[in-house]
């Protein structure tokens, strides 16, 4: 597959080639600053399996881009409370809010000094509210009210598998349309939900559509649409059976809901298709985030292949929370040899403990390098950035700034 990024051919100068850790394997390095500085980059989507650092990476990238002079909005999903508070988005209100405490772009940070006040807005996705907004914008007030009050709608909009993924895409489409219209942002950074399976958010619109398109739903819809006398005997039988199981009110609610929703349906499909196309466009860059563990990297490989199959522009892989190599150049073997020479001699417990720790850490670093090497061998043209694990969680702008610096390889 070919990794590419907006406005750049894979051979562009921002892809630096260098050895990865101690393995000596040449891997393309991902040049984050070139990506976020490129005016052609309009959307960055951070995806990856659960808990790998998607939200942290999204926020860190957005902050770095803003402080280098871009007008940025970051669309986050379920950020940790402290992180949300530090970005001023502790309340779920589905509206991008300005993040306070940004630093002005400086030439030394690679930004364009004095050009514009740094601008970063952040938003936490409220799935149900986004769904409601779509309904209100697409249906007549009376219809919208019917739908919003319907118990099936309430259930669907807050718990249907894939709704969160779908709504994240719906919100991205909305923000992008607004940004195009009034030029508020020139970069949208998108976090993705912790999906059980990779790229659920790409499948969600289709799943939602096929749910609404499904035969069961069609069947239920029929009596609500046509006069009862046109119903076939078979259908009456099914409906009667359902009425017995579900109760008349429930069935009526379901029918009303589906009938009302049906009118919105075309709109949903169309917008999902548009957003899909937006994701495939040249101005979009996907970053796959993974932790340096076999499962996460396997999942990352799947993401990379899936993105390629869907024609989504992949900018690179971010291996987050990598083990920091210990100080000095003592190898694991040397540390273990020294440890065995110390034997059980008394008075050296602390030294022995440190040697064991050093050996363990060095082994871990080697193991992670090997995993990255394997990934690189299978996907040689995917540029990679490695972000070491910090000693604490990332919960404030300073932490995000540090992650941004590490992402940029500084």
Ligand X SMILES: Nc1ncnc2c1ncn2[C@@H]1O[C@H](COP(=O)(O)OP(=O)(O)OP(=O)(O)O)[C@@H](O)[C@H]1O
The residues of the shown chain that bind Mg ion, judged by CB under 5 A, are: 54-55
* Least distance between Mg ion and beta carbon 191 (Å): 6
Pick the piece of the chain touching ligand X (CB under 6 A) from 47-55, 134-142, 159-167, 259-267: 47-55
The distance of Cα 359 from the centroid of its chain, to the nearest Å, equals 35
Tokens of 30: 């991902």
- Least Å from the CB of residue 188 to ligand X: 17
Residue 91: how many CB atoms within 10 A of its CB?
A: 12
Residue 52 touches ligand X, criterion: CB under 6 A: yes
For ligand X, the binding residue among 189, 296, 394, 407 (CB under 6 A) is 394
Shortest distance (Å) from residue 182 CB to ligand X: 29
In the three-class reduction of DSSP (H, G, I as helix; E, B as strand; rest coil), residue 290 is classed as strand
Residue whose structure tokens are 């009667």? 240
User: Which is nearer to Mg ion, 123 or 147 (by Cβ)?
Assistant: 123
Residue 403 CB, nearest approach to ligand X (Å): 6
Residue closer to Mg ion (CB basis): 385 or 394: 394
Closest to Mg ion by CB, 30 vs 47, is 47
Among 5, 41, 55, 164, binds ligand X (CB under 6 A): 55
What is the per-residue binding string for ligand X in 189-218, x denoting contact by CB under 6 A?
-----x------------------------
Q: Which is nearer to Mg ion, 76 or 275 (CB)?
A: 76
Where does this chain touch ligand X (CB under 6 A) — which range of 27-35, 84-92, 172-180, 390-398? 390-398
CB of 88 to Mg ion, least distance (A): 18
φ, ψ at 315 (rounded to 5°) = -95, -30
Residue 56 engages ligand X in binding (rule: CB under 6 A): yes
Looking at 6, 42, 53, 173, which residue binds ligand X (CB under 6 A)? 53
User: According to CB under 6 A, which one of 164, 320, 323, 384 is a site residue for ligand X?
Assistant: 320
Q: CA dihedral defined by 379, 381, 387, 389, rounded to 10 degrees?
A: 10
**Taking CB within 5 to 8 Å according to partner kind, which of Mg ion, ligand X, none is near residue 326?**
none
Beta pairing, strands 187-191 & 71-76:
parallel
Alpha-carbon gap, residue 168 to 194, rounded angstroms: 12
- β-sheet with 119-124: strand ranges across: 16-19, 26-29, 384-388, 314-322, 284-290, 43-47, 187-191, 71-76, 119-124, 97-98
Determine the Cα angle at 9 with ends 6 and 11, to 5°.
Answer: 135
Of 23-31, 52-60, 263-271, 355-363, the window that binds ligand X (rule: CB under 6 A) is 52-60
| CA 79 and chain centroid, separation | 12
Contact between 393 and ligand X by CB under 6 A: the answer reads yes
The three-state secondary structure class of 204 is helix
DSSP per position, 141-175: HHHHHHHHH-HHHHHHHHHSTTHHHHHHHHHHHHH
Q: List interacting residues with ligand X (CB under 6 A).
A: 50-56, 78, 80, 194, 320-321, 387, 389-390, 393-394, 403
């Amino acid at each position: 597959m070919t990794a590419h990024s907006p406005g750049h051919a894979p051979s562009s100068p921002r892809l630096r080639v260098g050895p990865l850790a101690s393995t000596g394997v040449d891997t393309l390095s991902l040049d984050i600053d070139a990506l976020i500085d490129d005016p052609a980059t309009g959307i960055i989507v951070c995806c990856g399996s659960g808990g790998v650092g998607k939200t942290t990476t999204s926020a860190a990238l957005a902050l770095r881009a803003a402080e280098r002079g871009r007008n940025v909005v970051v669309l986050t999903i379920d950020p940790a409370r402290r992180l949300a508070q530090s970005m001023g988005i502790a309340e779920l209100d589905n509206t991008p809010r300005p993040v306070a405490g940004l630093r002005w772009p400086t030439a030394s940070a690679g930004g364009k000094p004095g050009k514009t006040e740094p601008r970063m807005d952040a938003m936490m996705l409220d799935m149900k509210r986004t769904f409601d907004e779509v309904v209100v914008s697409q249906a007549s007030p009376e219809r919208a009210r019917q739908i919003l009050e319907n118990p099936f709608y309430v259930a669907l909009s807050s718990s249907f598998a894939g709704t969160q993924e779908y709504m994240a895409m719906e919100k991205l489409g909305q923000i992008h349309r607004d940004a195009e219209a009034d030029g508020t942002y020139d970069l949208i950074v998108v976090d993705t939900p912790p999906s059980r399976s990779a790229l659920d958010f790409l499948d969600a619109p289709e799943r939602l559509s096929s749910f609404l398109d499904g035969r069961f739903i069609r069947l239920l819809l029929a009596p609500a649409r046509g006069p009862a006398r046109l119903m076939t005997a078979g259908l009456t039988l099914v409906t009667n059976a359902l009425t017995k199981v579900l109760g008349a009110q429930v069935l009526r609610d379901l029918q009303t809901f589906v009938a009302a929703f049906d009118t919105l349906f075309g709109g949903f499909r169309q917008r999902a298709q548009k957003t899909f196309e937006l994701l495939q466009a040249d101005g979009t860059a996907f970053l796959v985030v993974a932790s340096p563990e076999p499962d996460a990297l396997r999942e990352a490989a799947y993401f990379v292949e899936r993105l390629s199959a869907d024609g989504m522009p992949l900018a690179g892989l971010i291996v987050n929370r990598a083990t920091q190599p210990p100080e000095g150049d003592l190898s694991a073997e040397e540390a273990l040899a020294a440890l065995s020479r110390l034997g059980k001699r008394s008075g050296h417990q602390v030294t022995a403990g440190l040697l064991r720790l050093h050996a363990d850490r060095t082994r871990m670093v080697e193991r992670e390098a090997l995993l990255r090497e394997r990934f690189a061998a299978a996907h040689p043209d995917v540029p990679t950035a490695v972000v070491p694990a910090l000693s604490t969680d990332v919960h404030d702008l300073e932490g995000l700034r540090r992650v941004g610096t590490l992402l940029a390889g500084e």
